[in-house]
A and B are shown apart, each in its own frame.
Chain A
Amino acid sequence: MPSVWSQLEPLLSRVQKPARYIGCEDGAKAKVVDETLVNWCFVYPDTYEVGLPNQGLQILYEIINEHADATADRSYAPWVDMEALLREHQIPMFSVEHHTPLNEFDVIGFNLSAELTYTNLLNCLDLGGIPIRQSERGNADPLVVVGGHCTYNPEPLADFVDLVVLGDGEEVVSEITAAIASASLGHDSDAGARGRLLEELASVEGVYVPSLYEVTFDGPRTVSMTPMNGAPDLVEKRTIADLGEWPYPKTPLVPLTEVVHDRLNVEVFRGCTRGCRFCQAGMITRPVRERPAEQVRAMVNAGLERSGYDEVSLTSLSTADFSDVSSVVSTLMDDSEEAGAGPVTISLPSLRVDAFGVQIAAQLQRAKRSGLTFAPEAGTWRMRQVINKLIREQDLYDAVEAAYSQGWSRVKLYFLVGLPSETDEDTLGIAEMAKNCVAIGKRHTKRASVTVSVGGFVPKPFTPFQWFGQNTIEELQRKVNLLRDATRRMKGVQLKWHDPKATAVEGLGSRGDRRLGPVIEQVWREGGTFQEWSEYFNLDRWTQALADHGMSLEDIVYRHRTEDELLPWDHLSAGLHKDFLWQEWQEALAEVGLPDCRWTPCYDCGACTGFGIEHVVASATPPAGGSQGTGQDLSGDQGSAPVPVQLQVGGR
């Protein structure tokens, strides 16, 4: 297979961070692209530093490379300086392992984690010498597959992708590989061969082929989605029943250059049952599937030994909920001490908002205690009932008290604004909470500070809020300004916020339909790549492109949907019943919370029953803690005294 390395090498001294383009990671696979095999290239449509740690891609990369009849390389969006040189010298975008041009592969697998990377997907295809529109690709061109959370509404990318994978990719990548192997398109001059392969792939569970659906519209609304040539009416997501059968990545990639999340990552469970109504990840990844504690231990110890990392993150959507998490953590700390390779940090990606969360953090962070992060998400109890993030104010104060009293001096709080039914009182409740947290901190340390980080809410498909009209840019900015004014004179409170303009464009990708394709293409053609990077984000390009194609933010982003409206993703399924989601939407508006179903009877959201599997948890006993842990009665008694929590200090 051709390699562009000799052309690339002299250019590397002319770009920032050339280590992005050389591969050579520990854990990289040497398996060479081979015409007789099915060759995948997994692409993350953002920079190397952002994309390399992506666990989904690392898992699939390993699974494919274990196959006798397939290979997998990786690639990442070249930064703008490299893109300019590639275009100037007419060098195609390449994989980092063998510097093979993208158009030499049989399948390009993109991870879609963020709507603002959509224009980068087009750019990667174009740079890789692949026609951007799927209708213009022939037998010799790679199949373009997308997976990841954004694919639960892949419609905005329908013009550009051949296949969409919904849900867990572990099993389905092999089925796709097998179908491609038997079709052997590269040797078929028959113009219909590619279409037949797509039709065949449409019958694979979890695979959606957008070109096999005819969609009609009436104004801003979708009216019908009609499958053609035997494609299914409803495409269900894939779910692996037992995470324990998939101990991947077994040899995680250790890059030569620094990346985000530059540590060992071990996924401890998939799914979440807390039922936060704004949270798409929590809804679409159900049911909960825990990794056996012994396997977690084995993966952590082997990973640390192999990589030389001094930090491991136990990842999931809510790691403090992992069964018997305290003893798992203790065991890991004992193991690392015994291994004698120097101090090892164990970290959790998110802390639960209660003193129990801090207890675990204290257990983990014996040395450095700089900052802790909590996500109460909303500033009043009313608002938190609406979004079903059932944290009492006291839970947060207990957590903060525990943090400051144990040596942390900085607390970071995450909030959303623009939530359904939000009033200014709710918004200002954020400032009030921050002020109270600083006051608690001041009792312990003069340096106590709170950073409030505010994001604009983007309604997502397959959540109870999928019908809600997103706040306008102006309204989000007004709320940010309210908070800015309120916190301006609060000592020790620092406010940060996400640009409401970017939030609006995220809303486009989140709930737009396939008519957005030409808009994305126009923004890309005008140079709108790296939209996740504030220095390259440009709202005007988006609004102009929308206007040029007769669309508006009003119709796609700000508009409330009605119960009878067909949503652009209604032919796809994350397992959740639409009437469950609608009922949850109504309950939200009625300010009624719904307890965590792991420790209360099933309320039939559809995620388990649809797949004939159940939540896989080692313990049916809720972990200790405040309302976040126990599912205790939240209906009243908001003013009760906090339960004293025994905190472990300095290990055992």
Chain B
Amino acid sequence: MSGGNQPQQTLRIRFTKAGKVRFVSHRDVARLFERALRKLRVPVAYSEGFSPRPKLSFGLALSVGHESDAEYLDLALASPIDVEALPAQLSEALPPGLDVSDAVVLAPGSPSLQQAVVRCDWHMELLGQNRDEIEQTSAQLLAADEILLERERKGKTAVVNVRPAIVSIEIVGPTDNGVAIRVQLATEAVSLRPNEFVGLFDALEGRVRRTHQWMIVDQARLEPIPGPSTRPLLEAAE
């Protein structure tokens, strides 16, 4: 173990999850990062106690099978390191499809990813409906005052109005198998998961990719690490 347990530096890392590795669970991704960091001898700070754990904190979980251009991870270090070199080194140490695109030093006292992120942008492919049908349903959803969804939680069924969680819907155009749309969904107060959103259409879920995560700071919309993360829609990553 390197150094004490008091973090000397906290990093925020942005990474992609694409291709075959999208079928790996959130928990397994965490384990892959732990191993990659050990391989690189990055001086990760460890928790106290009987079984010390590396201090890694991931943002909102991505469902198994969904891809992302914009996953984030906060990482506490026991001693400062060269942040410049880290993205390339980590990408090399991680399996193909998990690529670290940026790493920055986080200002002390920054809010955690879980607290800060309030909205996500998604590219989704809907299968089984044509463009007109999807446009029509989208318009209906945006015009509605209420969209009631039944959710089961701890064995109890609750009816939730998820309309506030749908911020915007935009039709992108046809894909080989269906129609691509761009959607912004809220993740706090009332949230809506991508698969629940697709369920509002009479369509099946094709490829789904998170393109951006957004925080609201002083009424401005910011990404956890500023910077563009754009990639052509639904380009296969294998």
A19 touches B28 (CB 8 A): yes
A308 touches B25 (CB 8 A): no
B72 at the interface (CB under 8 A from A): no
Give the distance to chain A from B218, nearest Cβ to Cβ, in Å: 38
Name the CB-closest residue of A to B204.
A10
**A139 vs B51: C-alpha distance in the bound complex, in angstroms?**
56
* CB-contacts of A270-309 with B (<8 A): 305-309
A367 at the interface (CB under 8 A from B): yes
B95 touches A26 (CB 8 A): yes
List chain A residues, Cβ under 8 A from B65.
Answer: 12-13, 18
B88 at the interface (CB under 8 A from A): no
B93 at the interface (CB under 8 A from A): yes
A24-39 near B? 1/0 per residue, CB < 8 Å: 1010000000000000
B23 touches A340 (CB 8 A): no
- Interface residues contributed by chain B, number (CB under 8 Å): 32
A651 at the interface (CB under 8 A from B): no
B151 at the interface (CB under 8 A from A): no
A361-388 near B? 1/0 per residue, CB < 8 Å: 0000001110000000000000000000
Give the distance to chain A from B90, nearest Cβ to Cβ, in Å: 11
List chain B residues, Cβ under 8 A from A258.
Answer: 27-28, 31
Give the distance to chain A from B117, nearest Cβ to Cβ, in Å: 24
A254 at the interface (CB under 8 A from B): yes
B41 touches A340 (CB 8 A): yes
A19 touches B35 (CB 8 A): no
The secondary structure that dominates the A interface is loop
Name the CB-closest residue of A to B44.
A342
A308 touches B38 (CB 8 A): yes
A308 touches B20 (CB 8 A): no
Give the distance to chain A from B198, nearest Cβ to Cβ, in Å: 11
* CB-contacts of A327-362 with B (<8 A): 339-343
**A50 vs B43: C-alpha distance in the bound complex, in angstroms?**
32
List chain B residues, Cβ under 8 A from A342.
Answer: 1-2, 38, 44, 46, 54
A256 at the interface (CB under 8 A from B): yes
B95 touches A256 (CB 8 A): yes
List chain A residues, Cβ under 8 A from B21.
Answer: 22, 24, 256
List chain B residues, Cβ under 8 A from A12.
Answer: 23, 65
A343 touches B1 (CB 8 A): yes
A184-197 near B? 1/0 per residue, CB < 8 Å: 00000000000000
Of the four ranges (under 10, 10 to 19, 20 to 34, 35 or more), the interface on chain A belongs to 20 to 34
Contact among A254, A256, A340 with B24 in the assembled complex (CB-CB below 8 Å): A256
Contact among B25, B43, B52 with A367 in the assembled complex (CB-CB below 8 Å): B52
Known: A308-B36, A342-B1. A18 touches B95 (CB 8 A): no
* CB-contacts of B163-209 with A (<8 A): 205
B233 at the interface (CB under 8 A from A): no
A23 at the interface (CB under 8 A from B): yes
B2 touches A340 (CB 8 A): yes
A555 at the interface (CB under 8 A from B): no
Name the CB-closest residue of B to A12.
B23
Contact among A307, A309, A343 with B52 in the assembled complex (CB-CB below 8 Å): A343
List chain B residues, Cβ under 8 A from A23.
Answer: 20
Name the CB-closest residue of B to A25.
B95
Contact among A22, A256, A257, A341 with B39 in the assembled complex (CB-CB below 8 Å): A341
A257 touches B51 (CB 8 A): no
Known: A340-B41, A367-B50, A367-B52. A307 touches B35 (CB 8 A): yes
B95 touches A367 (CB 8 A): no
B158 at the interface (CB under 8 A from A): no
B32 at the interface (CB under 8 A from A): yes
B220-235 near A? 1/0 per residue, CB < 8 Å: 0000000000000000
B1-27 near A? 1/0 per residue, CB < 8 Å: 110000000000000000011011101
Given contacts A19-B64, A308-B35, A342-B38, could you give 20 more A-B pairs where the C-beta distance is less than 8 Å?
Answer: A13-B23, A13-B64, A17-B25, A18-B64, A19-B23, A19-B24, A22-B20, A22-B24, A24-B20, A256-B28, A257-B24, A257-B28, A307-B35, A308-B37, A339-B41, A340-B41, A341-B41, A342-B54, A343-B46, A367-B50
Binding site for B on A (CB under 8 A): 12-13, 17-19, 21-24, 26, 254, 256-258, 305-310, 339-343, 367-369
Binding site for A on B (CB under 8 A): 1-2, 20-21, 23-25, 27-28, 31-32, 34-39, 41, 43-44, 46, 50-52, 54, 64-65, 93, 95-97, 205
What are the 6 tightest A-B residue pairs by CB atom distance, in nearest-first order? A308-B35, A18-B23, A308-B39, A13-B65, A308-B38, A22-B20
Can you give 13 contacting A-B residue pairs, CB < 8 Å? A26-B95, A256-B95, A258-B27, A305-B39, A308-B36, A308-B38, A309-B38, A339-B41, A340-B2, A341-B38, A342-B2, A343-B52, A367-B52
